[in-house]
Structure 1
Amino acid sequence: MRNLITDVPGLLVGHCHDEQRASGVSAVIFEAPARASLAVHGGAPGVRDTALLEPERTVQRVDALVLSGGSAFGLDAMGGVQAWLRSRGRGYAVGNVLVPIVPGAILFDLLNGGDKDWGEEPFYWYLGRLCCERAAADFGLGSVGAGYGATTADLKGGLGSASVLTSAGFHVGALVAVNALGTATIGGGPHFWAAPYEQGREFGGLGFPSSLPPEALAIRLKGDGAAASIGQNTTIAIVATDADLTKAEAKHVAVMAHDGMARALRPAHAAMDGDLVFAAATSTARQSPSPRELTEIGALAADCLARAIARAIYEATALPFPGALPSWRDRFDTLDRRGSLA
């Protein structure tokens, strides 16, 4: 187990980012078309081809799912992935034409200090295509891919992943780009809201603080007091399993997985963000879950997402621009392994 979404058999992950532009793309490429659905709980999503993921829609399977920076400009990334897949004979057959099905979502990272003056032709199509060339089972976390330019209210955001096995032997994994409106840590300290779900020391092993500081429950939002900051947020995620799910079951897993976002970020699902979760089933286990097993898949998808969010922050590095937010390690690297000040 890599503790990555690629522990789910049947999928690979590719990342690409541009340091000058401070933005990037991440793509999940399915080795064979997968069933997928989504749940959108934020008030301002940016998406492509997601209506077809509703259980009642005709198309049953997707070839890839994409997470991108760049706000609406990042929607071009799905086209780059689609072009790569088409060149390899992938896609939904309509007569003698193949149309790769590549839904995706974007986050806002246009004001993070990077050079966004790219001219008339945004570069996200090329980043999307390059993600496919780099798709692999092993990949980095933190300031990579769609998480490269991401931020939170107080720390650098990033790209996170985690995985787990259910009691029935199904694989479950999560991939998330954390560009949150709020915070992943408690008060002004190093402890993560997701601490109860941590496996080993995947994000420092600090646990919860012995007592919550007085300011722990105060709401801190990205750019507090700056009207221009409204809408500069969104946490976008993909959860996956190798169980053989229907689209309706995948939809419910996506709904349950949102609990992980609420556990790891404070606040989540606001009117000015586009928080959403895709859920996909590779069906490589060739077994449909029982109702009890499906419930466990959804519950563990939420746990994985909470862990992946904390890992994204823990592994991130600050952007190299004046005024950039510090990373978790920049602020708390004086902590020793026991969680006390060194």
Structure 2
Amino acid sequence: MQPGARNLITDVEGLRVGNAEDDVLKSGVTCLVADAPFTAAVDIRGGAPGTRDIALLAPDKTVPAVDALVLSGGSAFGLDAPSGVMDGLRADGRGFAVGPAKVPIVPGAIIFDLLNGGRKDWQANPYAALGRQAYRAAGGDFALGTAGAGTGALTARLKGGLGSASAVLASGYTVGALVVVNPVGCVTPPGERRFWAAGYEIGQEFGGLGVPPGPFAPLTAAHTKMALDRGEGANTTIAVVATDCAMDKAALTRLAVAAHDGLARAIQPSHTPFDGDLVFAVSTGARPVSRPGVDALELGHAAAVVLARAVARGVHAARPMPGDPMPVWASSPT
């Protein structure tokens, strides 16, 4: 398993990602869009998710594909970000055809970043405008760390961020991941700079420091303080995994389930009552299934590994900003 040319989710051909952020607000939006509508599904494992239009992704629902996915800061205010993406898509003539009308289908998910030191005294909700900016910025290359929806993300001890990674499998399929890392949990053990995900690192993509000692870290004061200070529902890690293998919504639902293992490998603890952990799964359908069952097994395992790497890359790339309540990985001894 080797990363694609960019080591980003956009190594899945046809996918593009755009970021928009406001450094004073300490928040932002990330948009995943494709050259054509794509199939998508979702699986939620956290106790406090915030979402928009995800019911459409269930295998029994009739909408066959979506036009974009949105990851946003802003808690419930960020659920307006897909409106801006919809405006951009509509202006470009994109959307699900209902007679002569076209309705862009844009599910979204949010993180809580309202207590991260940024100014939140806006008079009008800024997230629709950020969504439209993110859509217009979409391309093959995009920034990680303190960017897009990861701009104001935090973990229990470090700044979080926007992460991405990819892998090209021996079968020829490409798998990519995109993640906003904002958990109650930690991505490194106490007193360590090494990432829980280090066993899956390729090269030195997040420092090359090796695997931390021990497979388990007990809950610390940092975890409980974050939970108590912010309250239930105030953290979330949201992600997208993508592949060029042709998969329907039922198969993509299973892919999203498997990909959650990547969060559990990279974040301790994960899927808590205080997090809204959610994974979208996406297929562009560019490559046909060649080995039913076996392909799904291989892709599920790869999605979990790639997502774990993306989590570490997001925190590794975080940059310091004025007013940060947490240090960044690069400047923290632990």
Q: TM-score range with shorter-chain normalisation? A: over 0.9
Counterpart for residue 151 of structure 1:
154
Counterpart for residue 140 of structure 1:
143
Counterpart for residue 309 of structure 2:
307
Aligned CA distance change for structure 1 residues 73 and 35 (closer, same or farther; 3 Å): same
Counterpart for residue 14 of structure 2:
10
- Residues 70-97 of structure 1: per-residue CA shift (max 9 Å, x gap): 0000011000001100111111011100
Counterpart for residue 331 of structure 1:
332
**1:326 is aligned with what amino acid?**
P
Aligned CA distance change for structure 1 residues 89 and 270 (closer, same or farther; 3 Å): same
Separation of aligned partners in 2, 1:244 and 1:69? 31
Aligned CA distance change for structure 1 residues 290 and 188 (closer, same or farther; 3 Å): same
User: Tell me, what secondary structure is at the counterpart of 1:159?
Assistant: strand
Contact 1:243 1:289 in 2 (8 A): no
Counterpart for residue 95 of structure 2:
91
Contact 1:5 1:240 in 2 (8 A): yes
Match of 1:182 among 173, 176, 185: 185
**2:85 is aligned with what amino acid?**
V
- Residues 41-78 of structure 1: per-residue CA shift (max 9 Å, x gap): 00111000000101111101000000000000001100
Separation of aligned partners in 2, 1:224 and 1:274? 15
Matches within 5 A, 1:161-172: 161-172=164-175
Separation of aligned partners in 2, 1:212 and 1:163? 27
**2:330 is aligned with what amino acid?**
R
Aligned CA distance change for structure 1 residues 204 and 256 (closer, same or farther; 3 Å): same
Output the aligned Cα RMSD.
Answer: 1.6
Counterpart for residue 269 of structure 2:
267
Separation of aligned partners in 2, 1:13 and 1:105? 15
Counterpart for residue 282 of structure 1:
284
Match of 2:110 among 106, 112, 117: 106
Given the alignment of the two structures, is residue 124 of structure 1 paired with residue 135 of structure 2, yes or no? Answer: no
**1:263 is aligned with what amino acid?**
R
Separation of aligned partners in 2, 1:289 and 1:306? 25
Separation of aligned partners in 2, 1:22 and 1:283? 36
Separation of aligned partners in 2, 1:317 and 1:332? 15
Separation of aligned partners in 1, 2:226 and 2:88? 41
Q: Which runs of 5+ in 1 are unaligned?
A: 334-342
Contact 1:182 1:222 in 2 (8 A): no
Contact 2:44 2:276 in 1 (8 A): yes
Separation of aligned partners in 1, 2:333 and 2:297? 37
**1:313 is aligned with what amino acid?**
V
User: Tell me, what secondary structure is at the counterpart of 1:175?
Assistant: strand
- Residues 128-161 of structure 1: per-residue CA shift (max 9 Å, x gap): 0001111110111100000000000000000000
User: Tell me, what secondary structure is at the counterpart of 2:261?
Assistant: helix
User: Tell me, what secondary structure is at the counterpart of 1:241?
Assistant: strand
Separation of aligned partners in 2, 1:66 and 1:331? 31
User: Tell me, what secondary structure is at the counterpart of 2:287?
Assistant: coil
Contact 2:48 2:232 in 1 (8 A): no
Q: Please state how far the C-alpha of 1:272 moved relative to its aligned partner.
A: 1.7
User: Tell me, what secondary structure is at the counterpart of 2:21?
Assistant: strand
User: Tell me, what secondary structure is at the counterpart of 2:36?
Assistant: strand
What's the TM-score, normalizing by structure 1? Answer: 0.93
Separation of aligned partners in 1, 2:227 and 2:217? 19
Q: Which runs of 5+ in 2 are unaligned?
A: none
Separation of aligned partners in 1, 2:159 and 2:231? 16
Aligned-residue sequence identity (percent) comes to 53
Matches within 5 A, 1:29-48: 29-48=33-52
Q: How many residues align?
A: 329
Counterpart for residue 254 of structure 2:
252
**2:209 is aligned with what amino acid?**
L
**1:28 is aligned with what amino acid?**
L
Given the alignment of the two structures, is residue 61 of structure 1 paired with residue 65 of structure 2, yes or no? Answer: yes
Counterpart for residue 163 of structure 2:
160
User: Tell me, what secondary structure is at the counterpart of 1:35?
Assistant: strand
Counterpart for residue 339 of structure 1:
none
User: Tell me, what secondary structure is at the counterpart of 1:135?
Assistant: coil
Separation of aligned partners in 1, 2:291 and 2:164? 23
Contact 1:187 1:217 in 2 (8 A): no
Q: Please state how far the C-alpha of 1:285 moved relative to its aligned partner.
A: 2.0
Contact 2:184 2:227 in 1 (8 A): no
Matches within 5 A, 1:178-217: 178-209=181-212, 211-212=213-214, 216-217=217-218
